[in-house]
């Protein structure tokens, strides 16, 4: 545990994840180029992105089951190979339909990657550093958005469509080779509860029924949806056409989504490690920042200034590391034998919200612009003002469901462990006064919930 070899394995795994995020976001960087290359509508492009993310979301639970059975190394290598083949198809595709098939393969490989890396962590590392490592994995992987925004965008502009996507395919092939050579399974996890009879279906049903898993699902959907919609497809058209920013400036703004991960991730990781009973309060606070920033950009009178756009994307980007709290719910409210399954369920949340949001934005843009609109009319700022309200609607639904799941989770903690979670304002008042707590009550500090000790 926590050895030099552990850091090597984690490093290669994180590199594979960084490459996966790069492949995930390349089509968004090439969105305007794809519109011209394939003479496509906004709805058609969003359909391609929706298929990619839908495949990702649908595969999360099966991938979690496979990881629990065969381990992370094989799944991680297969994922990299799938992405290499998918980007090769995109590079050579003469029509959008074939490019869409390639992006589906990219979605398959992407689905195999993140959970595999997350599942490596408990086998190689232990202690309170796990929540922090989860945030750093997400932060470093998010650099893939920078790779697509700068080097990939430069190659695309200088050498053209085919060369850019062929280079992308080659990076995934290299990642597959490194995984095969260096990644190995860590120490087997001790069982924290008996494995239920009935095999995988019983494990899946039990995990789905746990309120803590449901809390993680809705948390992930609430915070990851805006980030996914912007990073995967609609961020660049919004910036370059809707707001009229130069490509280089748009790349800087898009990099704020990644900068937010590096700035907010360590802070969020420290907070959930220090106050594990207050993770849902952190989620709600991050959601207020993220959606508040999005609404500010949409409701700004006239075009918002560049400084406001940069700050807005930075605050929206905080939802990325915030969504990782959902995976921490999966880890702490599920037994060790169901870790992959539970993580798959939770990770489905943000990408379910993502593909619904991607399609909703494309559909609303088309409805606003009308048939036969030029690119400038299709991706107008006024069109995005309306279209992005679909993302806000998804967030409102997720927030309501999160609050309901939190109530059930806390009720179960009281029944099983006798723990009473005081309302946040009550806990804050007690801390300010230094008052005494009632037996069994907690203000949110301390160690992990007893159910996972």
Beta carbons within 8 Å of 166's beta carbon, 6+ residues apart: 87, 88, 91
Distances (CA, A) of 408 to 210, 211, 279, 335, 338: 9, 6, 15, 18, 20
Domain architecture of the chain: domains with CATH: 4-182+201-446 (1.20.1250.20)
* pLDDT at residue 45, as a whole number: 83
Gyration radius of the chain over CA positions = 22
The tens-digit pLDDT sequence of the chain (453 residues) is 667 888 999 999 999 999 999 998 888 788 878 888 998 887 788 788 778 878 888 898 888 888 878 888 999 999 999 999 999 999 999 999 999 999 999 999 999 998 899 888 877 887 677 778 888 888 888 888 888 878 898 899 899 999 999 999 999 999 999 999 998 877 665 555 556 656 778 888 888 889 999 999 999 999 999 998 998 788 988 999 999 999 889 989 988 988 998 888 888 888 888 888 889 999 999 999 999 999 999 999 989 999 999 999 999 999 998 998 998 898 888 877 777 788 889 988 988 898 899 889 988 998 888 766 667 778 899 999 999 999 999 999 999 999 999 999 988 888 877 777 766 666 666 666 665 554 444 544 555 554 443
* pLDDT at residue 452, as a whole number: 44
Residue closest to 262 by CA, chosen among 145, 348, 115, 346:
145
Residue closest to 172 by CA, chosen among 22, 351, 7:
22
* pLDDT at residue 57, as a whole number: 82
* pLDDT at residue 326, as a whole number: 92
> CA–CA separation, 218 vs 408, rounded Å?
13
> CA–CA separation, 329 vs 212, rounded Å?
6
Please measure the distance between the N-terminal and C-terminal CA atoms of the chain and give it in whole angstroms: 18
Q: What is the pTM of this model?
A: 0.75
> CA–CA separation, 302 vs 182, rounded Å?
53
* Three state DSSP letters for the chain: CCCHHHHHHHHHHHHHHHHHHHHHHHHHHCHHHHHHHHCCCHHHHHHHHHHHHHHHHHHHHHHHHHHHHHCHHHHHHHHHHHHHHHHHHHHHCCCHHHHHHHHHHHHHHHHHHHHHHHHHHHHHCCCCHHHHHHHHHHHHHHHHHHHHHHHHHHHHHHHCHHHHHHHHHHHHHHHHHHHHHHCCCCCCCCCCCCCCCCHHHHHHHHHHHCHHHHHHHHHHHHHHHHHHHHHHHHHHHHHHHHCCCCHHHHHHHHHHHHHHHHHHHHHHHHHHHHCHHHHHHHHHHHHHHHHHHHHHHHHCCCCCCHHHHHHHHHHHHCHHHHHHHHHHHHHHCCCHHHHHHHHHHHHHHHHHHHHHHHHHHHHHHHHHHCCCCCHHHHCCHHHHHHHCHHHHHHHHHHHHHHHHHHHHHHHHHHHHHCCEECCHHHHHHHHHHCCCCCCCEECCCCCCCHHHC
CA dihedral 357, 361, 367, 368 (to 10 degrees): 140
Give the distance, in angstroms, between the CA of residue 179 and the centroid of all CA atoms in the same chain: 22
Beta carbons within 8 Å of 226's beta carbon, 6+ residues apart: 290, 291, 294, 316, 319, 357, 391, 395
Q: b or e along 310-326 (b: 16 or more beta carbons within 10 Å of the residue's beta carbon)?
A: bbbbbbbbbbbbbbbbb
* pLDDT at residue 443, as a whole number: 45
Q: Which residues pair with 421 in a beta bridge?
A: 442
């Amino acid at each position: 545990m926590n050895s030099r070899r552990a850091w090597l394995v984690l490093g290669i795994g994180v590199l594979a994840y960084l490459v996966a995020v790069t492949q995930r976001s390349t089509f968004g960087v090439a969105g305007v180029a794809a519109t011209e290359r394939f003479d496509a509508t906004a709805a058609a492009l969003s359909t391609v992105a929706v298929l990619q993310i839908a495949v990702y979301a649908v595969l999360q639970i099966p991938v979690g089951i496979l990881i629990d059975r065969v381990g992370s190394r094989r799944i991680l290598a297969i994922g990299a190979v799938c992405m290499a083949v998918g980007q090769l198809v995109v590079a050579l595709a003469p029509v959008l339909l074939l490019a869409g098939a390639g992006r589906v393969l990219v979605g398959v490989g992407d689905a195999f990657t993140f959970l595999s890396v997350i599942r490596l962590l408990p086998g190689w590392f232990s202690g309170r550093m796990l929540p922090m490592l989860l945030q750093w994995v997400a932060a470093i992987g998010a650099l893939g958005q920078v790779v697509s925004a700068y080097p990939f965008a430069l190659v695309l502009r200088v050498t053209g469509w085919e060369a850019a996507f062929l280079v992308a395919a080659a990076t995934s092939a290299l990642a597959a080779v490194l995984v095969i050579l260096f990644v190995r399974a860590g120490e087997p996890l001790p069982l924290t509860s008996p494995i239920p009879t009935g095999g995988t279906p019983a494990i899946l049903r039990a995990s789905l029924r746990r309120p803590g898993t449901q809390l993680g699902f809705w948390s992930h959907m609430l915070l990851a949806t805006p980030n996914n919609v912007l990073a995967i497809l609609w961020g660049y058209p919004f910036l370059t056409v809707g707001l009229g920013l130069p490509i280089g400036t748009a790349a800087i703004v898009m990099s704020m989504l990644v900068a937010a991960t590096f700035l907010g991730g360590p802070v969020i990781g420290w907070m959930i490690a220090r106050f594990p009973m207050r993770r849902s309060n952190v989620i709600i606070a991050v959601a207020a920042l993220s959606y508040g920033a999005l609404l500010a950009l949409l409701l700004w009178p006239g075009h918002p200034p560049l400084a406001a756009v940069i700050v807005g994307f930075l605050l929206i980007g905080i939802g990325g590391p915030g969504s990782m709290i959902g995976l921490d719910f999966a880890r702490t409210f599920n037994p060790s034998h169901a870790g992959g399954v539970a993580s798959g369920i939770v990770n489905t949340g943000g990408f379910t919200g993502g593909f619904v949001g991607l399609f909703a934005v494309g559909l609303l843009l088309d409805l606003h612009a009308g048939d036969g609109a030029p690119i400038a009319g299709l991706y107008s700022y006024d069109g995005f003002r309306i279209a992005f309200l679909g993302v806000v609607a998804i967030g409102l639904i997720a927030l309501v469901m999160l609050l309901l799941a939190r109530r059930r989770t806390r009720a179960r903690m009281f029944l099983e462990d006798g723990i009473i979670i005081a309302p946040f304002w009550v806990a804050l008042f007690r801390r300010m006064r230094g008052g005494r707590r009632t037996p069994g009550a907690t203000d949110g500090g301390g160690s992990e919930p007893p159910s996972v000790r």
